[in-house]
Chains A and B, each alone.
Chain A
């Protein structure tokens, strides 16, 4: 009798555990981000991923009924680690470009093509001289194609600003939304030269073979554009920016 009871209990346990696993299996999505690009993504004082993309990502997961886990990864190796399967999405302020599109796929944009700006310590900056940008960004390839400009690359966006501050570079080129709070805080820094619009907006990067996930994300992004959630989040995180959707 006891044996039988134990057996039934064990079987029930195994069964529930089995279904629970099968259910969560299809649904866990690991979200890869950099964690060093406020207001898009950064680590807050508690060391957790925070920012516009955290809010967008969590809302996307809720709408697409996925359970999501946030992972930080160095920007340099963020694409190789996606394609080798260490996480399932890149949600790290990554602009949609043709070059990247050859290697991975992008969802629809969840942030419009934002102008990039030059931050400099002198207002006489005219787009020539030494310009700092983060490695592997659209800004770095833009500087490389500029007449009379020398590109120096850094691993993190924060270091590009530090290079301007210590005189190593004449200006840093980065997303205006990233530079704006820094320039606002720092009396020595200012925007100089003309802004440039690069890329086709920011989308979620997924593996090319992951069409199903991309579809789910697209549906969720479309619904967030429709009901104004994306606009609200953009206005929350990007001071003075109107939601464009």
Chain B
């Protein structure tokens, strides 16, 4: 079967050719982009959250203020504002620092009216770089931005979880002669996950649903391609003319997102059971009784 002359094809053969066009391949690979974003963003956000929570509990006041400022400011700013403003600021910040470092002899101002101009060597990435480098760079900016936003929420969840670990556990650790640091890492951290998990699993679900924001950051995600492919195609500009098919593409996205959240629910349920094991919580107690 060849797809060189789609007009002569009908039914399944036409559909098979249509669904394997170059543009559809880009659509399918954008699912990978979304999954990759989730796979990288989740652990990075958790790391940001953990650092934020540790900072917010720190004994050293300025560090504590920093941690509290991070969680309250980032959580208070609407996501979309953050995504529109922060990313441009971050990109220009990186270019400005590179400009200062790489082009000391440059005399023209960086801001000229509306324009933001750095020397060609300071562009991030260089304008000579191939397109995929630009795409990877945009993707990294997206991961970083998502991680900051979701890290702030995760920090708040983790602060709560750390407080929820029974005080008696820490007192016992101290009675055994552990230092504050030892008690934190050996007693508090292993036990806090069971309290953090409900909040973190909420965040994970919200993160999955927030991935269409990628398009705002110039990353061509599944929503972009669904809209592009679903829009009506004229026979003069496409070998596969069709009407407005957006509904079918968006239904496919609906199925994808529902499947992803369902799989997550099952996975998180298992994790919850595992973390409850041997814990001084109602769930842990129930498991102990069932096992006995």
Q: CB within 8 Å of B: which residues of A?
A: 21, 24-25, 28-30, 35-36, 38-39, 42-48, 50-51, 69, 71-74, 80-81, 83-86, 88, 103-104, 156, 158-159, 161-162, 165, 181-182, 185, 207-210, 239
Give B92-110 as 1s and 0s: 1 = Cβ < 8 Å from A's Cβ atoms: 1001000000000000000
Nearest Cβ distance between residue A85 and chain B, in whole angstroms?
Answer: 6
Q: Is the CB of B22 within 8 A of A156?
A: no
Give B13-55 as 1s and 0s: 1 = Cβ < 8 Å from A's Cβ atoms: 0000000011101100000000000000000000000000000
Q: Of B123, B218, B231, B241, which one neighbours A81 at CB under 8 angstroms?
A: B218
Q: Is the CB of B88 within 8 A of A45?
A: no
Across-interface contacts of A47 in B (CB, < 8 A): 21-23, 25-26
Interface residues of B in 112-170 (CB under 8 A from A): 112-118, 120, 123, 126-128, 130-131, 134
Give B41-77 as 1s and 0s: 1 = Cβ < 8 Å from A's Cβ atoms: 0000000000000000000000000000000000000
Q: Is the CB of A208 within 8 A of B115?
A: yes
CA distance A46 to B20 in the complex (A): 10
The answer to whether the Cβ of B265 comes within 8 Å of any Cβ in the partner chain is no
- State how many residues of chain B have any CB contact under 8 Å with chain A: 41
Across-interface contacts of A185 in B (CB, < 8 A): 234-235, 241
CA distance A200 to B7 in the complex (A): 39
Residue of B nearest to A87 (CB): B127
The answer to whether the Cβ of B227 comes within 8 Å of any Cβ in the partner chain is yes
CA distance A73 to B218 in the complex (A): 7
Q: Is the CB of A25 within 8 A of B88?
A: no
Give B219-253 as 1s and 0s: 1 = Cβ < 8 Å from A's Cβ atoms: 01000000110011011111111001010000000
CB-CB under 8 A for A50 and B235, given A73-B218, A81-B218: no
Q: Is the CB of B238 within 8 A of A44?
A: yes
Across-interface contacts of B25 in A (CB, < 8 A): 47
Across-interface contacts of B237 in A (CB, < 8 A): 38-39, 42, 44, 50-51, 181
24 A-B residue pairings within 8 Å (CB atoms): A25-B120, A25-B128, A28-B127, A38-B236, A39-B236, A43-B23, A44-B23, A45-B22, A45-B23, A46-B21, A48-B22, A69-B131, A71-B134, A74-B218, A80-B88, A83-B114, A84-B91, A85-B123, A104-B114, A158-B232, A158-B244, A165-B244, A207-B117, A209-B112
Besides A85-B95, A181-B234, 14 other CB < 8 A contacts? Answer: A28-B128, A30-B127, A35-B228, A36-B228, A43-B228, A72-B220, A83-B115, A84-B91, A162-B232, A182-B232, A182-B234, A208-B112, A208-B114, A209-B117
4 smallest CB-CB distances across A and B, nearest first, come from A46-B22, A158-B231, A47-B23, A38-B237
Nearest Cβ distance between residue B242 and chain A, in whole angstroms?
Answer: 11
The answer to whether the Cβ of B215 comes within 8 Å of any Cβ in the partner chain is yes
Q: Is the CB of A45 within 8 A of B239?
A: yes
Across-interface contacts of A103 in B (CB, < 8 A): 114
CA distance A206 to B85 in the complex (A): 23
CA distance A44 to B237 in the complex (A): 7
Across-interface contacts of B128 in A (CB, < 8 A): 21, 24-25, 28
